[in-house]
């Protein structure tokens, strides 16, 4: 059985990644591609790398006939997404890649995003899309909110440890190194090749990055008491990849055992042998996440390092994994391709 798919906001990087992945999927077919400024253009114009595919042209959203669509991926900017999704048919399954439905608490949303939510009634309905931890809810959901790519990486490194109570909840530091495609295709000076190549730096330092809203929500719910991590993202001169270096306090061996046990049967999460650290070069273009646990020379401390591809496992791959569950397809379908190396 083939499911009919639409993508709104198809002209950005996550849109391109969705198309790439769905092209290799045995049970999905793209029926509509929605875009704003690039509406009216063919796939060859918007994405010359996809010119060999037989795909519909980009159209404005009002031109899409929803009657035959089973599931819609929304790869729209934050704030736009909630307004668009609010007006989509109520029977349509939706995977939202924006930040709009990640936070269940309207006040938390308003605090982190600076505006009141315009589809508050749907916030409660949305399921948080971190597949490995919300499988059943996602399978039953109509609306799934894809996680932030940084938020996903940090949670893969920390959730099992917080759940098992093997680390000090008040002493968690997350130092992330993010590749530039995570910032999207926006025209900003600091995303220019001339600025970024040979120039890397921290940003949103001091706890102002919006993905902290997700960390707070998820870790607090998991621990049953407030957990606030310290989180500093860095922009590095690479296109794909997130490397999360996590500093935790606890027994390293216990941490390792907890981690290895938690992900034992997960198809996409690879826990490396104790003491090994992952590299972004080993997950590029794939849906895999590599996690390493290393004991520090200081007793009672450990470093947990997680690596994934922000556009795949951190965004569009996760979205497809969730869509598979929502449509009753094998969860790994279309997602098992090996990383691209070098």
Query: Least distance to a second copy from the beta carbon of 314, Å?
Result: 14
Complex with a second copy: residue 13 or 101, whichever CB lies closer: 13
CB of 64 to a second copy, least distance (A): 23
Residues 46-65 that bind a second copy (CB under 8 A): 47-53
Alpha carbon distance, N-terminus to C-terminus of the chain: 36
Nearer to a second copy, 37 or 67 (CB): 37
Q: What angle do CA 270, 14, 280 make, to 5 degrees?
A: 35
Looking up tokens 């990849």 gives 241
Q: Which of 86, 185, 253, 328 binds a second copy (CB under 8 A)?
A: 185
Contact positions with a second copy (CB under 8 A) in 2-31: 13, 16, 19-20, 23-24
How far apart, in Å, are the Cα atoms of 116 and each of 95, 210, 315, 320? 21, 15, 25, 29
Helix (H, G, I), strand (E, B) or coil at 75: coil
CA distance 247 to 250: 10
Which helix H or strand E contains 77, and what residues bound it? none
Query: Least distance from C-beta 126 to a second copy, angstroms?
Result: 26
Q: What are phi and psi of 171, to 5 degrees?
A: -130, 50
User: Residue 137 or 266: which CB sits closer to a second copy?
Assistant: 266
On whether the CB atoms of residues 123 and 107 are closer than 8 A, the answer is no
Round to whole Å and give the CA distance between 73 and 95. 5
Please identify which residue in 192, 253, 328, 330 interacts with a second copy, judged by CB under 8 A: 192
User: Measured in whole angstroms, how far is the alpha carbon of residue 321 from the centre of its chain?
Assistant: 11
Least Cα distance to 150 among 213, 78, 75 occurs for 213
Q: How many residues does the chain have?
A: 342
Counting contacts by CB under 8 A, is residue 294 touching a second copy? yes
- The residue (of 199 and 328) whose beta carbon lies closer to a second copy is 199
Q: Which is catalytic among the residues 74, 149, 178, 289?
A: 149
289 is catalytic: no
Considering only residues 223 to 252 of the shown chain, the ones binding a second copy according to CB under 8 A are 228, 230, 232, 234, 236-241, 243, 245, 247
Q: Among 131, 150, 258, 286, which residue sits at the site for a second copy (rule: CB under 8 A)?
A: 286
Work out whether 285 is an interface residue with a second copy (CB under 8 A): yes
User: Which of 122, 256, 288, 324 is the binder for a second copy (CB under 8 A)?
Assistant: 288
Active site residue ranges:
149
């Amino acid at each position: 059985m083939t499911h009919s798919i639409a993508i709104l906001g198809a002209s950005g990087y996550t849109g391109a990644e969705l198309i790439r992945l769905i092209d290799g999927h045995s049970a999905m077919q793209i029926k509509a591609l929605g875009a704003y400024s690039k509406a009216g253009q063919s796939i060859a114009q918007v994405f010359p790398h996809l010119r060999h595919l037989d795909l519909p042209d980009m159209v404005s959203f009002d031109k899409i006939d929803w009657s035959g669509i089973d599931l819609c991926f929304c790869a729209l900017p934050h704030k736009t997404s909630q307004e668009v999704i609010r007006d989509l048919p109520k029977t349509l399954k939706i995977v939202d890649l924006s930040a709009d439905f990640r936070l269940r608490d309207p006040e938390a949303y308003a605090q982190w995003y600076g505006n009141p939510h315009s589809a508050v009634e749907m916030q409660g309905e949305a399921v948080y899309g971190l597949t490995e931890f919300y499988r059943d809810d996602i399978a039953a959901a109509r609306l799934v909110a894809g996680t932030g790519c940084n938020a996903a990486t940090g949670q893969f490194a920390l959730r099992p440890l917080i759940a098992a109570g093997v680390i000090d909840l008040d002493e968690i530091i997350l130092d992330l190194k993010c590749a530039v495609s995570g910032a999207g295709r926006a025209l900003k000076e600091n995303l220019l090749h001339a600025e970024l190549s040979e120039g890397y730096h921290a940003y949103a330092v001091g706890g102002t990055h919006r993905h902290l809203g997700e960390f707070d929500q998820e870790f607090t719910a998991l621990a049953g008491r407030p957990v606030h991590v310290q989180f500093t993202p860095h922009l590095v001169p690479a296109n794909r990849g997130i490397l999360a270096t996590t500093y935790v306090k606890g027994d390293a061996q216990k941490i390792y055992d907890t981690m290895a046990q938690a992900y034992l049967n997960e198809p996409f999460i690879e826990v490396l042998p104790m003491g090994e650290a992952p590299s972004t070069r080993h997950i590029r273009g794939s849906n895999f996440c590599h996690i390493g646990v290393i004991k520090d020379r200081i007793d009672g401390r450990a470093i947990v390092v997680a690596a994934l591809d922000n556009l795949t496992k951190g965004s569009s791959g996760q979205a497809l994994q969730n869509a598979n569950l929502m449509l009753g397809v094998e969860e790994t379908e279309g997602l098992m391709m090996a990383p691209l190396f070098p």
